[in-house]
Structure 1
Amino acid sequence: MNFIDLFAGAGGLSEGFIRAGFTPVAHVEMDSAACYTLRTRMAYHHLAKQGRLDIYHSYLSREISRRDLYSHIPESVFNSIINQAISEENNSAIFAQIDELLDGQEVDLIIGGPPCQAYSNIGRAALKHVKDDHRKKLYVEYGKFLKRYKPKVFVFENVPGLKSSDTGIHYQNIKEYFDKIGYHVEEKQLNARSFGVVQDRKRLIFIGWSKDIQFEYPSFNQNETEHTSEDIFYDLPSLQAGGGTVISEYVENTSEYLTRSEIRRDDDILTQHITRPHNVNDLSIYKLAVQKYQQGLLLKNNEIPDTMRTQKNVTDFLDRFKVVGSIPHTLIAHIAKDGHHYIYNSLDQNRSISVREAARIQSFPDSYYFEGVTEIFSRTAAFKQIGNAVPPLMAYKIACQIEVGVREINKN
């Protein structure tokens, strides 16, 4: 069974479907850094199938370059990654590339979610001056792929704020549009934590299926994980602000949870456990936030002493400085700009979370390497990709249920 991933990002959603047995035909993504991440991940999967992960480990260990790694991979593997923006202007060219990749095959599934910032409650406030955000209508472009490739099923992911954005008109339009082009569609608000992810992350998951098949929205076995941030951070070395290296050493053996969730394998190499630097004033605020958190209190922006406060606004976004607690709050792409909303819960490690800690909150495997456009590590590019992603563990459990349904369709 194969799939196309639209607005693929760094591939979190795709990773879950690959793990469940689906085969990617194409990933379409406009961000060049994310496309390099996808190429590196496809290199990983190709080498894993061949039993040649030693080559991949040589890359993570900086024994070989990215170009050297890619030289071991057939060009056909990388052809599946299409670095273009999905748009009316580009779709014809994207269709041509996908048609060539398909070579007459049918498409079983399309997955993906257009950029969510325009719909999210936080993004909505930041974009209130934008009169006509084109991203709110990208579902129409998504639909053009449905109309062309006619998959049996599709998965469309977005933020819960979609239902209330612009008084709910976009939510209604999306449902009506998918119905008009031949798909039954249902959606549920699902929390990544209910799928084993150590993060409180609510998402709207639309699942659509062709009106000429028998299918129904899967009944997911949802149980909130009892694991905490301590369970996903305990084996990582201590860091200070601006600390860490591209390659590090684990300080503890793996655990049953890390193994079961496929976050860490015995042969993994710890990479990208790197934190951003902070100025002295921000570090003072971080310490204050952690002290309050450990007393069971949350630091509000209007409670920060005037001599320390960097934001004059004391009426909006009062939780600008936020500690990552036992169950981390939703990770978003804003972490690429600053770490104020993701302060590490320790007075001894006065900093925001590292790239690898952010990746683990999202349930990315430690073998997942987040690329920049060049081979020089880009902390900003990595944080952006991680914040925008669907947690692979959540995606995997959704994919497993869809796989059962699609196989039943194929039997009939």
Structure 2
Amino acid sequence: MKIKKPKVISLFSGAGGLDLGFKNAGFDIVWANDFDKDACNTYTHNIGSHIVCGSIEDIDSNEIPEADIIIGGFPCQGFSQANLLRFADDERNKLYLEFLRVVKDKKPKLFFAENVSGILSLAKGEAIKKIENDFSLAGYSVKKKLFNVADYGVPQSRKRVIIVGVRKDLNIDYDFPIATHTSPSKAKKEQLLPWVSISKALEDIPDADDADHGLLNHDYSKYKITNRNFTGHRKTDPEKPSPTILARGNGKGGVCAIQHPKNHRRMSVRESATIQTFPKSFEFFGSLTSCYRQVGNAVPVKFAEQLALALKNKIGE
């Protein structure tokens, strides 16, 4: 069944990387939600005022409009081997259960859930089995895939799992997008484009220390560079895709920005956002730490758009 301008509900939207990708692909984001005020301000300014700022636990499903698709990512810290028997009692699983609750209540045609690669091995693989079983019982055929977004033209090595559910009463078979890029050593043989390097992605970004750079959010952390083999402290290879843009911290500190490809300072928020394939006109709101966190939590826009286009070919105009 063909539908025009598919309608999308977004949960745990953050600054809106996943949403912007779907919007760019021609989808209509009709409702979104996040609890972080800075992220909601960023989202409202750049994408639309349809975001509701507040905890999803406090929002009744009847307050959420009908839609064809639900998208979002949920935390997975509570999926431990010991806690699977007491799953609903673990505070850390509340947001996953809220995602499941909204899918059950709204019964969209499809849902897309994004998560870290570690979800596949949590509780020795039992966590992902539980997730798939939960959504199967809710009436969805589920498939999952581990991606490195560098394989899709994003200038970053970032491994994430995409879980897709299709309502069982529909004749829709979603196919994940096919990779367009690979490592330079394999590109010719596999007839794909080589990965986009971090230096290539940032080649037209003026230096953040230039007084007249004219870019939004082109401020950077002064956190010391130590060049040791530890997350956030490793040297950046300018000829490779960027290391994963990080999102540690809770708004009170803790974010560690990746080093610039020249390894003379940390990348700015703008540079980090460029690696996450946000457009230069996309403005982030909040403290420096909050902006870094919003960027790091996002799904790369270009990758999200390819996920959406693969779906639009099935149910779009």
**Partner SS, residue 386 of structure 1:** helix
Correspondence for 2:247: 333
1:314-359: CA deviations, max 9, x gaps? Answer: xxxx455112322111112027745756122326xx2111000100
Instruction: Give the structure with the larger helix fraction.
Output: 1
Post-superposition offset of 1:398: 0.5
Q: Which amino acid aligns with 1:34?
A: A
**Partner SS, residue 145 of structure 1:** helix
After superposition, residues 319-330 of structure 1 pair within 5 angstroms as 319=231, 321-325=233-237, 326-330=240-244
Correspondence for 2:262: 346
CA distance in structure 1 between the partners assigned to 2:260 and 2:254 by the alignment: 13
After superposition, residues 249-398 of structure 1 pair within 5 angstroms as 249=214, 270-278=215-223, 282-283=224-225, 285=226, 289=227, 299-300=228-229, 318-319=230-231, 321-325=233-237, 326-334=240-248, 337=253, 342-346=258-262, 350-372=264-286, 378-398=287-307
2:167 aligned with 1:223, yes or no?
no
1:32 is aligned, of 20, 28, 37, to 37
Correspondence for 1:114: 74
Post-superposition offset of 1:116: 5.2
Correspondence for 1:91: 59
Correspondence for 1:248: 213
What stretches of structure 1 of length at least 5 have no aligned partner? 44-77, 121-131, 250-269, 290-298, 301-317, 373-377
Post-superposition offset of 1:169: 2.6
If the length of structure 2 is used for normalisation, what is the TM-score? Answer: 0.83
**Partner SS, residue 397 of structure 1:** helix
User: What is the aligned-residue RMSD (CA, Å)?
Assistant: 2.4
2:150, 2:195 within 8 Å by CA — same for their partners in 1? Answer: no
**Partner SS, residue 39 of structure 1:** helix
CA distance in structure 1 between the partners assigned to 2:13 and 2:281 by the alignment: 19
If the length of structure 1 is used for normalisation, what is the TM-score? Answer: 0.65
CA distance in structure 1 between the partners assigned to 2:275 and 2:90 by the alignment: 30
After superposition, residues 202-217 of structure 1 pair within 5 angstroms as 202-217=159-174
Post-superposition offset of 1:133: 5.3
Post-superposition offset of 1:136: 3.5
**Partner SS, residue 245 of structure 2:** coil
Correspondence for 2:84: none
What stretches of structure 2 of length at least 5 have no aligned partner? 1-5, 81-88, 182-193
2:176, 2:307 within 8 Å by CA — same for their partners in 1? Answer: no
CA distance in structure 2 between the partners assigned to 1:35 and 1:82 by the alignment: 8
After superposition, residues 158-237 of structure 1 pair within 5 angstroms as 158-224=115-181, 225-237=194-206
**Partner SS, residue 295 of structure 2:** helix
CA distance in structure 2 between the partners assigned to 1:392 and 1:332 by the alignment: 16
Correspondence for 1:399: 308
CA distance in structure 1 between the partners assigned to 2:234 and 2:78 by the alignment: 23
**Partner SS, residue 173 of structure 1:** helix
Post-superposition offset of 1:367: 1.1
**Structure of greater Rg:** 1
**Partner SS, residue 308 of structure 2:** helix
CA distance in structure 1 between the partners assigned to 2:147 and 2:98 by the alignment: 24
Post-superposition offset of 1:387: 0.5
Q: Which amino acid aligns with 2:200?
A: D
